[in-house]
Chains A and B, each alone.
Chain A
Amino acid sequence: MNLGKLAGFGLVAAVAAAVVAPVVAQPSGPIAQRQALMKQNGKDTKAGFAMVKGDAPYDAAKALMIFSGMHDVASKYGALFPKGSETGGDTEAAPAIWTKPAEFKAAVAKFEADTKKAMDAKPATLDAFKPLLISVTANCKSCHEAFRVDKP
């Protein structure tokens, strides 16, 4: 392969990357970011319950990844509701997030604490994992009860 060919290949690769980039780029803006984080949570929850239901074998490494993934979401989540992100982008965020900020903050803090506890427990068996998953995912509905609405 000569230098010219290499340069040509580089150019093609750069163009391809530029074309593909907008598709694979991290979602921008707080609304898209929090939606992506919640999708991630859904995937982790699904993978967790697949093990609980016996659809997948118990895997301690995977369990740890699930809880650390959720903890990562929890630690980023609270900062993604700046003023101005109340509407738009198909957001399902409820007005209560901004009218009851202390309660919202407490709910996110609880999710962060519960996921930390589950992560630190490093459950080695399914029996240890199951109650942790249930207590962590109880945060889903308690938070969505007050702080999410279906799209108007």
Chain B
Amino acid sequence: MRRLLAGLMLLAGVGAALFWLLTIPARVDEARFAGLVGSPARGARLFWAGGCASCHAAAGAKGYARLELGGGAALKTQFGSFQPPNISPDLHAGIGGWRLIDFANAMQKGVDPEGNHLYPAFPYTSYARMTPADIADLYAYLRTLPSVAAASPDHDLALPFNIRRGIGVWKLAFAGADRPEIDLPAAASPAARAGQYLVEGPGHCGQCHTPRGLGGIGGPDRSRWLGGAAALEGKGRVPNITPAKQGIGVWSEGEIAEYLETGFTPDYDSVGGAMVEVQKNMAMLTKADRAAIAAYLKVVPPVATAK
């Protein structure tokens, strides 16, 4: 009996050690960021492409208030309530004390400077596709924004999702940006390739528009890339934006770009739901960037709408 007990304890100990080892946070290769000095002017483009304000500025913020990144409205999901943190340059409440490499680790590896895993509600699995130069530009831009001194509240999550270390397991399965989300045809235009970077990287479109495996816990299902999914918050669906019939196959490239600029579909139905915030951000990009996104969306594989 004592032997059995000892054996079980040993097994539990080995299990715990294995869990610990497997969930050690990975970090970016510092050499890729060495000596990089970002440009705030270029970073503004990535700020809008990345949609930072939509989660990190106060809910309903307009105009200048969209640049006050004190942490916005909680994302209410099936796992609990995620609280977007203060990412303003405030030294204490925000990320004013972070070095570029700290920012890069958060953006691309989902790890904070203390070595805690960040929840993938923060779309670092997409931001991981950004170039180090773009990360540095965005970092430089964020440092020019107003400081917000109020600390943001903690997440409010149910077991087991409140065990941060467990995110390490999720990352083993679903993080990784070593290959593109989809392979473009060899003949894809330079615009479509530029669009691929914007959509799969900073734009993180697939986080909502692609169904996730494992009942919503998993990563985006690449075989149904951008094929529409159940909304992560509340009721309803996020539309299929592939060139399929059930998607936006009948929209021309120009119409897609115009939707991103004005919020009107070709039939003059309007943007709605969470996409209203996204479209506001897209309207801040250049015409060329919106055209690139449209070009990419016309060449992704058409997929049937996921149920």
* Residues of A that sit less than 8 Å from B by CB: 38, 42-43, 45-46, 49, 92, 94-95, 137, 140-142, 144-145, 148-152
Contact = CB atoms under 8 A, between A and B. Distances in A.
Interface of B: 230-231, 234-239, 263-264, 267-273, 276-277, 279
B270 A140 contact: yes
A149 B233 CA distance: 11
Contacts of B235: 94-95, 149, 152
B264 A49 contact: yes
A55 B116 CA distance: 56
Contacts of B234: 94-95, 149
Interface of A is mostly: helix
Contact of B268 (A42, A144, A150, A151): A42
A95 B238 CA distance: 17
Contacts of B267: 42, 46
Given A145-B273, A150-B273, 20 more contacts: A42-B268, A42-B269, A43-B268, A45-B268, A46-B268, A94-B236, A95-B235, A140-B263, A140-B264, A144-B273, A145-B277, A149-B231, A149-B235, A149-B237, A150-B231, A150-B237, A150-B238, A151-B236, A151-B237, A152-B230
Contacts of A152: 230, 235-237
Given A46-B268, A149-B231, A149-B273, A141 B279 contact: yes
A45 B267 CA distance: 9
A151 B230 CA distance: 10
A98 to B, nearest CB: 13
Across the A-B interface, give the 4 residue pairs with the lowest CB-CB distance, nearest first: A149-B236, A144-B272, A140-B270, A145-B276
Contacts of A92: 236, 272
21 contacts: A43-B268, A46-B267, A46-B268, A92-B236, A92-B272, A137-B270, A141-B270, A141-B276, A144-B271, A144-B272, A144-B273, A149-B231, A149-B237, A149-B272, A149-B273, A150-B231, A150-B236, A150-B237, A150-B238, A150-B272, A151-B237
A145 B273 CA distance: 4
Contact of A141 (B231, B236, B263): B263
